[in-house]
Amino acid sequence: MSENHKLARGVLLLTVSNLVVKACGLLFKIPLTALIGEEGMGYFNSAYTLFTYFYMLSTAGLPVVMSMSISRAAASNKGAAVKKIFRVGLSIFLVLGLVGSAGMILGAGFFASLMKVEKSRLAIIAIAPTLFFICQSAALRGCFQGFGDMRPHAISQLAEAVGKVALGVALAYRAVQMGESAEVAAAHAAFGLTVGIAAGMLVLYIAKLCVKPALPTDDIPEPTSVIAKSLVKTAVPITLASSVMSLANLLDTLIMTRRLHDIGLSQAETVAIYGNYSSLAVPMFNLPPVLVYPIAYALVPMLSALLEKRDIDGARKLCRAAVRVTSLIAMPCAAGMSVLSKPILSLFFADDVAERGAMMLSVLAPSSYLICILAITNTVLQTCGRERLPLWAMLAGGGVKLATSWLLIPMLGKYGTPVSTFLCYLVILVISAWGIAAKTELGDIFACGGLLLPLTASLLSATAAALIYGFTSMTIPAIVGAVLVYGLLMLIGYRPGEEEVGLIPGGQRLMLILRKKCKYEQTESRKS
């Protein structure tokens, strides 16, 4: 129970930090969009998308493998092995960071030309050193995660977010005040992001110096070459699965800008549309998964324990509970964003900017639910030893995304990209669900009537939100009304089981309290 409570506290801490980071990201883009405009945001986001791909390629798998290796060594009281695994992992990350940063700087002109956003070259150069810093942060976070300590991870994330907001906006403001062009201002904002990431890295190094686990160091670790080979070999499938969608998103950027240009839009118009899409619709679309990822974290140890005990029926119930809880969170978020896209965006951005991005968010919002469910299916497949299946599913979905983007943008214009995103994640989910049903002993984890209630409640609450906004033209009352309708329907129709409660951080403690209360009430009723 102590380990479960420690996990729950860590997950809760990461959830809070992730929410704060997302809020800071939104706060970063609101004033930045006002300062450098949609065109400048197009240059900034082109550079950021390129950086994200290199980042995922460099750090997607190794931190996970490092944490598992360090966790196993620490459990065996092998302090020397822990230190050597960390040193080897950090060395690999340093090389990856240097090579990646150098590649982005030297190839900045090529990448900018390839994306048909030539003026993003300065922003790419400014953001390139970020890769060197973030690789070191990834190694340090993998080390702390191996010991189950989420605090440095969360604090460093906050330092990165605050640094990005403060310095990025300040440097962009300075560039605008000096009369610099949008491309130069975008580069200043990108450099602010670089400094913020460096601040987060320093926080982790300080934590590493201050937190030293008391482990004996009389063991003899494996040779460096053996450790390095083991880390890289295990990390490759995870890295490939994670980088496929990042590559698809990068190529999607290329296709979106090129195809919009092909249908007669100027480069400035194309960049402005892409800037609006990537700065307004995509950040909102990425908010619901932040609430669901902690469920996936909690699912891993619980599902592993059940599978280890060969409790297949319990594992199946747990996975279905994870799908239900995820649906309870993600369905209303997706429905609400789709119906209230314009009012929600208008809370943060100028009306004309929000109006241009609203319909793209409405079309994109349903895909948010699919991503949330995919977080669960990927976790289930990896825990069941089917880690290659998500890779094939991602490859298939990425192919669908690129093909449909190419075909739909000439027909639907800027809405072709969000439609292709939905088709992409739908294909991935279908393949993943088939893999769980056919390749594991869990069967169809979606075969539960529990999905009907959140779907119905989400549609009714979204309808209520649309009606309230239609009559009042006020966003907050519409959101509050939707929440009340959804909450009331859940109170009437939803009865959570132990599996659902156990997946929520702190849920196990809540279940113990409820059990004690029920026993007390039963005792009192017998006495009376």
d(CA 403, CA 399): 6
d(CA 352, CA 336): 21
d(CA 55, CA 252): 17
Residue 521 lies in a domain: no
Total domains in the chain come to: 1
Residue 302 lies in a domain: no
Tell me the three state secondary structure of residue 311.
Answer: coil
| Contact assessment for residue 80 and residue 103, using Cβ atoms and an 8 Å cutoff | no
Query: pLDDT (tens digit, 0 to 9) for every residue of the chain, 528 residues total?
Result: 444 455 556 666 767 777 777 777 767 777 888 888 877 888 888 888 788 777 776 666 677 677 767 777 777 778 888 888 888 888 888 888 898 899 889 988 888 887 777 788 898 999 999 989 988 888 888 788 777 677 787 788 888 888 878 888 888 889 888 888 888 888 998 898 888 889 889 988 998 888 777 676 777 778 888 888 877 776 676 676 666 656 666 666 777 877 887 777 777 777 777 777 877 788 788 888 877 877 776 676 677 667 767 878 888 888 888 888 888 888 999 999 999 888 888 887 777 778 888 888 899 899 999 988 988 888 888 778 777 788 788 888 888 888 888 888 888 888 888 898 899 889 999 999 898 888 888 878 886 666 788 888 899 999 999 999 888 888 889 999 988 998 888 778 766 655 555 555 555 555 555 555 555 344 444 444
Give the number of C-alpha atoms closer than 13 A to the C-alpha of residue 365, restricted to the C-beta side.
Answer: 24
- Of 526, 525, 505, 518, nearest in space to 19 by CA: 505
Residue 106 lies in a domain: yes
Sign of CA dihedral 466, 468, 469, 475: negative
pLDDT at residue 84, rounded to an integer: 87
Sign of CA dihedral 316, 317, 318, 323: positive
Residue 284 lies in a domain: no
Four-CA torsion 259, 261, 265, 267, nearest 10 degrees: 140
Position 391, amino acid: L
Containing structural domain, residue 37: 1-240
Name, in order, each residue with C-beta under 8 angstroms of 366's C-beta and a sequence gap of 6 or more: 334, 338, 422
How many of the other CB atoms lie within 10 Å of CB of 365?
Answer: 25
DSSP assignment of 444-455? -TT--GGGHHHH
pLDDT at residue 2, rounded to an integer: 45
Residue 363 lies in a domain: no
| Contact assessment for residue 395 and residue 258, using Cβ atoms and an 8 Å cutoff | no
d(CA 495, CA 276): 41
Residue 236 lies in a domain: yes
Residue 213 lies in a domain: yes
How far is C-alpha 285 from the geometric centre of its chain's CA atoms?
10
| Contact assessment for residue 148 and residue 189, using Cβ atoms and an 8 Å cutoff | no
> Is the overall model pTM greater than 0.75, yes or no?
no
- Of 395, 455, 451, nearest in space to 428 by CA: 395
d(CA 156, CA 201): 7
The tokens describing 368, both together, are 């948010």
Name, in order, each residue with C-beta under 8 angstroms of 370's C-beta and a sequence gap of 6 or more: 422, 425, 426, 428, 429
- 506-514: long-range contacts (C-beta < 8 A, 24 or more apart)? 506/8, 506/12, 507/8, 508/1, 508/4, 508/5, 508/8, 509/5, 509/8
Residue 142 lies in a domain: yes
| Contact assessment for residue 154 and residue 167, using Cβ atoms and an 8 Å cutoff | no
